[in-house]
Structure 1
Amino acid sequence: MSILQDIKDTFQQPNNTLKKLILINVIVFVVLIVLRLLLYYTVGEAGFQYLMSFIELHSSPSVLLTRPWTLITYFFTHQGFLHIIFNMLNLYWFGQLVREYLGDKKLLSLYVLGGIAGGILYLLTYNFIPYFEDRAANSVMIGASASVLAIVVAAATLLPNYTFNLILIGPVRIKYIALFLVILSISGAVGDNAGGNIAHLGGALIGWVFIKQLQRGSDLGRPLHAIFDFFTGLFHRRPKLKVTHRSNTAFKGKSNGSATSSVGKPSQKEIDLILDKISSSGYESLSKEEKQKLFQASQKE
């Protein structure tokens, strides 16, 4: 029962998007393992494949029209141990960076937009490129790789000179790790997992575009934020309105009528300048004041 309580606590904690994403992927993975075992021993393999058809992304547009939610569910679904382990490790390592510098909302936006972009590129490729015509009828896709690669490339675009210490290799700048993963996906775009690797490239592209647009002052995830906030509001009770009387003397001493809550919050222009400095010179080049502003911005998100 303590495991269930730990899961409940994780979802109740604020500013915990990275752990929630990993936990959702793991829960879906475990549930599918159990259901696969039960269905194989009862109704056979066909029963499990029928179940999967409601969460995996099919390359046929007609199937997608009847199950549009699969454009989302596919990037929370894994079947192989190595598949989910590799994806979740990369999500954790690179997601920590994105979360630290940009905040939880932008991490979630990257994950969702990367998965959607990967799915759309997969559908377009399998339906408009002649090489894939014979495969399109029976092709399906699952896995969070496109979402994860979007976060990897976003982190590398934002902090290209940040280094990870890799086992047996030593310190490596993350821009080279991202480049290696992109080249690996390009090389696999004509193999047995062509659809998956094509989706990876869609995620990588959205990761790069997301950061470049953010540095120009445009947040591609803003429409998603509005959707998330709407659905979040449906499951939270609004506090009852309470009218109180406060003496005007409480505001004496405030210059220019400004509230103290707004003091110290950096503007978007200041954050963009700091992000540009990180991109060109690395996080270590920031002053103590700039680091504090970046921290305040991430808390605000």
Structure 2
Amino acid sequence: MMHVEERNTTPLSLGEEKNMVIQLLLINITVFVLLFFTEVIYRMEGNPLARYYDDVLSHLTLSASFSTVLHNPWSLITSMFVHNSFWMIVSNMIWLACFGTMLQNHAGRQHILPLYLLSGIVGAVFYLLGMQFIPSFRELQSFASTTGASACIMALAVGATIVAPGYRLLPNLPIPFWIITLIFLLVNIGTHVVNSHDLTMVPALIGGGLTGLLYMQQWKKGNDLGAGFNRTLHKITHLFHPKTHLHVVK
């Protein structure tokens, strides 16, 4: 008598059978810690803060100038993982955990990373366009830049609201989820206004929000806009993984 025994090694792949929100939190926090210690090293060596910005941060943040972005195209991606203050990353990570977990629980982890990256890029494009065409922003173009995951979180917030608008974050509090999204928007804008009298990030938030709206509306219609990205990522992360072996046992 023969039977087939399936043996499979556990693959190491980004996002499979794991919590994608936790992974994004870890990536953002790791980048913040690395940049923090890099700044400390620059200061210990007697360098002015401006040199740290010129040597490191200016290549990772998203400049308001198209010409600078063309020289640093990767900043469209890196800027959404860079936070330049402790309170900024603490606030954003709390919101990311809140909205990301809610969306992940209701729609699945496979939508978190595609939506995060797509909304970050769209938010960056909206930021650049806003800096070119909004008169009060245009004069800041030569030295302005933006960082942080706010546009990505806005997409997750709007996406979560689309999926379950009446969801209660806390069962004992009769507050629908869209109210939490509105609070995030007001807090985010208010923080920028109070800390730096800056509204240039509003176009990025709009871009992120519209991305979340479109993405999850299409998902509800049965169209997965992130399917192609997930297939490509799966192939890349499984490129060197051993295939399943079938052993015939007599």
Asked if 1:18 corresponds to 2:17, the answer is no
- Say which of 91, 100, 104 aligns to 1:95: 100
Percent identical among aligned pairs is: 31
- Provide the rounded CA distance (Å) in 1 between the counterparts of 2:15 and 2:190: 41
What is the aligned counterpart of 2:40 among 26, 37, 48? 37
1:74 lines up with 2:113 in the alignment: no
Find the counterpart in structure 2 of residue 125 from structure 1: 130
Deviation at 1:99, TM superposition (A): 1.1
1:151 matched residue in structure 2: 156
Matched AA of 1:84: I
Candidates 223, 226, 232, aligned match of 2:231:
226
TM-aligned CA deviation for residue 199 of structure 1 = 1.1
Q: Please report the TM-score for the alignment, with normalisation by the length of structure 2.
A: 0.83
For residues 40-55 of structure 1, what are the structure 2 equivalents within 5 Å?
40-42=43-45, 43-50=47-54, 51-55=56-60
What CA distance in whole angstroms lies between the structure 1 residues aligned with 2:207 and 2:15?
Answer: 32
1:199 paired to 2:213? no
Q: Which residue of 2 aligns with 1:111?
A: 116
> What is the deviation of 1:224?
2.2
Aligned amino acid, residue 118 of structure 2: L
What's the counterpart of residue 91 of structure 2?
Answer: 86
Greater relative CO (CA pairs within 8 A, separation 6+): 2
For residues 194 and 114 of structure 1, what CA distance do their matches in structure 2 show? 19
Deviation at 1:223, TM superposition (A): 3.2
Matched positions, count: 235
Distance 1:185 1:238 in 2: 42
Q: CA deviation at 1:241?
A: 7.3
SS of the residue corresponding to residue 238 of structure 2 reads helix
Task: List alignment gaps of at least 5 residues for structure 1.
Answer: 1-8, 247-301
Q: Provide the C-alpha distance between the structure 2 equivalents of 1:12 and 1:180, rounded to a whole number of angstroms.
A: 29
* Cα pair 1:185 1:200 within 8 Å, conserved: no
Aligned ranges for residues 165-204 of structure 1 at < 5 Å? 165=170, 170-182=173-185, 192-204=197-209
- Cα pair distance change 1:226/1:13, threshold 3 Å: closer
**CA offset digits 1:96-154 (Å, max 9, x no partner):** 11111221110111211121111110011111222221111111110011111110111
The aligned amino acid for 1:83 is M
How far does residue 245 in structure 1 lie from its aligned partner after superposition?
Answer: 6.5
Q: Report if aligned partners of 1:152, 1:178 keep a CA contact under 8 Å in 2.
A: yes
CA distance in 1, matches of 2:188, 2:62: 19
TM-score (norm 1): 0.70
Change in CA separation of 1:241 and 1:226 when aligned onto 2, cut-off 3 Å: closer
- C-alpha distance in 2 between matches for 1:112 and 1:12: 14
